[in-house]
Structure 1
Amino acid sequence: MTASALLRRSDLKRMADIAKSEGVRVSIEIDGRIISISPDIHKPVEEDTVAKGKRIRL
């Protein structure tokens, strides 16, 4: 007989939904093991309107 999983798929999905909607890391500790899920949020890319080193004449 196989051992049951620490977390069910529905639990992981619920944690991922919370992490994504709230923008936070969600963690749970089970039997001394910490399982964390964090959202896939990247720092906004700052695009230069003018390429570096290029001169503009006004």
Structure 2
Amino acid sequence: MSTGKKIKHAAETAKGKVKEAAGKSVGNESLVAKGKGEQIKGDVEQAGQKMKDALKH
């Protein structure tokens, strides 16, 4: 996986964690859900890139 994509996906996951924590602290369920969604999206994209890399070798 290219370093740029790895950083992008990790940043998306981290951003999701921050949104989820902020949503929990203020009691905003919508923000919690958005944060969890971003975390899942980042994790899925990382897994996809790792799979592509594994198939190349």
TM score, norm. by length of structure 2: 0.36
Larger CA Rg, structure 1 vs 2: 1
Tell me which protein shows more helix as a share of its residues: 2
Q: Looking at secondary structure, tell me which structure has more strand per residue.
A: 1
Q: Calculate the TM-score normalised by the size of structure 1.
A: 0.35
